[in-house]
Chains A and B, each alone.
Chain A
């Protein structure tokens, strides 16, 4: 059975402090720490692009998992900020890593729901084609499209990348997925003329209304409850939205991690960043992950430790 064996991560070293923006954006310490929950945001180097970040996450994965690149059969990259429109970023990463020509490589264009969707796509693709080793990369540096004058986005989003090894020696396998799209709301989070715009109101309403319903439905389908699942890893949009989801679902606070205060909302990377820390914690046997955002799109999955 295929599943998640290990996860590599990469965060750029450049860090901006939201405390330096208190006056500009009329924020106090309480708002920074307890409402948005983001104290610092990471920024890639100017000369660094999405593919470079993906390569660095992959190198970290190799250090952790110790596999040989020549064994890789599949590489999927989740990004909406590719290096170029043409070619796909996965081909660039394939080239930079000198992966074998037999390795299938393609991109999936999704935002904050991308890791969960991608996990289903790569597992199904590998199963269909009899593959045993593949990597799912998330690399979506929003600093490429951020307006530094926009409080809604510039204090929230950080740059980061992850690389998840999918293999036949998994730590976590996925039991079931749910998916959804509300395309009429696509203007709620959109990049126009190279600049990101987010309606905090639209995204908040979407997440607060949609995600709890989706999570409850998935729990029912898996004969699980909020009590029986060990962790709920929600997309780390902001502390406020994660707290809102936790309260609406009536889940104990210690079951719902929020860990982005030092680097920000890394879009499709936010869930694997947290999963990477959970892989060695054998007290966590079941974990529900849920990504939501751009699209508007959402996807949840129940993971079980083998």
Chain B
């Protein structure tokens, strides 16, 4: 299954509702500059694993900072 940006945004909304302004959220800007901190990234990546079976290894976490980078990683 190929993941779309809508899939990622849906997970972000589910996990971080009220914490992020999705009206201005950009897929090519680091999530950490848009209200998603390092701990929230762990929640998002766990949610990806549980919903889509996609496991992001520890060494990849610091490298993946935008929604576009998540899509590139999971769809490669």
Given A204-B42, A205-B42, is A31 in contact with B37 using a C-beta cutoff of 8 Å? yes
Instruction: Give the dominant DSSP class at B's interface.
Output: helix
Say yes or no: is B3 at the interface (Cβ < 8 Å to chain A): no
List residues of chain A with CB within 8 A of the CB of B37: 31, 35
Say yes or no: is B75 at the interface (Cβ < 8 Å to chain A): no
Task: Tell me, in angstroms, the Cα distance from A244 to B43 when the chains sit together.
Answer: 9
Residue of B nearest to A152 (CB): B38
Number of cross-chain contacts by CB at 8 Å: 24
Task: Tell me, in angstroms, the Cα distance from A200 to B43 when the chains sit together.
Answer: 12
- Residue tally, chain A, CB below 8 Å to B: 12
Say yes or no: is B11 at the interface (Cβ < 8 Å to chain A): no
Task: Tell me, in angstroms, the Cα distance from A208 to B61 when the chains sit together.
Answer: 17
List residues of chain B with CB within 8 A of the CB of A244: 43
List B residues 5-32 near A (Cβ within 8 Å). none
Say yes or no: is B1 at the interface (Cβ < 8 Å to chain A): no
List A residues 188-242 near B (Cβ within 8 Å). 199-202, 204-205, 208-209, 240
Say yes or no: is B74 at the interface (Cβ < 8 Å to chain A): no
- Whether the Cβ atoms of A201 and B39 lie closer than 8 Å is no
- Residue tally, chain B, CB below 8 Å to A: 10
Residue of B nearest to A27 (CB): B37
- Whether the Cβ atoms of B58 and A204 lie closer than 8 Å is no
- Whether the Cβ atoms of A201 and B43 lie closer than 8 Å is no
- Whether the Cβ atoms of B58 and A202 lie closer than 8 Å is yes
Task: Tell me, in angstroms, the Cα distance from A27 to B43 when the chains sit together.
Answer: 19
Residue of A nearest to B41 (CB): A201
Task: Tell me, in angstroms, the Cα distance from A240 to B42 when the chains sit together.
Answer: 11
Minimum CB–CB distance for B21 against chain A, Å: 15
Residue of B nearest to A208 (CB): B46
Minimum CB–CB distance for A116 against chain B, Å: 24
List residues of chain A with CB within 8 A of the CB of B58: 199, 201-202
Minimum CB–CB distance for B65 against chain A, Å: 15
Interface centre among B42, B43, B58, B61 (most CB of A within 10 A): B42
List residues of chain B with CB within 8 A of the CB of A204: 39, 42-43, 46
Task: Tell me, in angstroms, the Cα distance from A246 to B67 when the chains sit together.
Answer: 27
List residues of chain A with CB within 8 A of the CB of B49: 205
Task: Tell me, in angstroms, the Cα distance from A202 to B57 when the chains sit together.
Answer: 9
Minimum CB–CB distance for B1 against chain A, Å: 22
List residues of chain B with CB within 8 A of the CB of A205: 42, 46, 49
Task: Tell me, in angstroms, the Cα distance from A204 to B58 when the chains sit together.
Answer: 12
List B residues 33-63 near A (Cβ within 8 Å). 37-39, 42-43, 45-46, 49, 58, 61
Minimum CB–CB distance for B38 against chain A, Å: 8
Minimum CB–CB distance for A187 against chain B, Å: 11
Task: Tell me, in angstroms, the Cα distance from A208 to B49 when the chains sit together.
Answer: 12
List residues of chain B with CB within 8 A of the CB of A35: 37, 39
Task: Tell me, in angstroms, the Cα distance from A199 to B42 when the chains sit together.
Answer: 11
Task: Tell me, in angstroms, the Cα distance from A298 to B42 when the chains sit together.
Answer: 21
Minimum CB–CB distance for A110 against chain B, Å: 25
Can you spell out 24 A-B residue pairs with CB atoms less than 8 angstroms apart?
A: A31-B37, A35-B37, A35-B39, A199-B58, A200-B38, A200-B39, A200-B42, A201-B42, A201-B45, A201-B58, A201-B61, A202-B58, A204-B39, A204-B42, A204-B43, A204-B46, A205-B42, A205-B46, A205-B49, A208-B43, A208-B46, A209-B46, A240-B39, A244-B43
Residues of A at the B interface (CB closer than 8 Å) are 31, 35, 199-202, 204-205, 208-209, 240, 244
Residues of B at the A interface (CB closer than 8 Å) are 37-39, 42-43, 45-46, 49, 58, 61
3 interchain residue pairs of minimum CB distance: A204-B42, A240-B39, A201-B58
